[in-house]
Chain A
Amino acid sequence: AQTVTQSQPEMSVQEAETVTLSCTYDTSENNYYLFWYKQPPSRQMILVIRQEAYKQQNATENRFSVNFQKAAKSFSLKISDSQLGDTAMYFCAFMKPFIIQGAQKLVFGQGTRLTINP
């Protein structure tokens, strides 16, 4: 079974600083998807960024980028120029590749509570 581990329960940085959230995972699959989801207080979870394991290039979405190290099974999220609106729980998640009628469910880590201070 796949497992996802986020070793930083909480992090706090000042506005405009750069912060990196860590994630490691365990799988025997060669092809899979990795995600970072953001859950603001009392709001629904939304996708921040996605990485396909077969792609060597690290994904980037505006101020968000990942450092994907497949051999090390590491998938960290870097937030540049952090903003107050980035305050949220951040979850790292793993998904196996598509199979017909397969659930292709997300397996989540425990989360990191990130606070951006003014």
Chain B
Amino acid sequence: DTGVSQNPRHKITKRGQNVTFRCDPISEHNRLYWYRQTLGQGPEFLTYFQNEAQLEKSRLLSDRFSAERPKGSFSTLEIQRTEQGDSAMYLCASRDPGVAGAPGTGELFFGEGSRLTVL
């Protein structure tokens, strides 16, 4: 399968614990996004990487959240001291770099998501 892969698919944790999610994008895609989706809502942007550089972070990304993409390949999203309000689906998506003058089709390819439940 050459799509976007996310692990774990489901995580149940107690309030106050730390959790980490991993995303493996499509291999030739240099742009990677994290989104959060709560039940019955559309995804909300969290952060964006171009290669290994984190170029944009949403105000939704509190100090307890940190994301990395150390070699411009896979990415991790860590949530420290989890709260019940962190319960959501965390979606990863990637995009191809496009070519000069035609920077990609705009299509994001999404993974199946990592569902977090904080008790």
Chain A interfacial positions (CB closer than 8 Å to B): 4, 6, 9, 33, 35, 37, 42-47, 50, 91, 93, 95, 98, 101-111
Contact = CB atoms under 8 A, between A and B. Distances in A.
B50 A101 contact: yes
Contacts of B108: 47, 106
Contacts, number: 63
Contacts of B95: 104
A110 B45 contact: no
Interface of B: 3-4, 31, 33, 40-45, 48, 50, 55-56, 91, 93, 95, 98, 103-108, 110-113
A88 to B, nearest CB: 13
B106 A108 contact: no
Contacts of A47: 107-108
A43 B112 contact: yes
Contacts of B112: 42-44
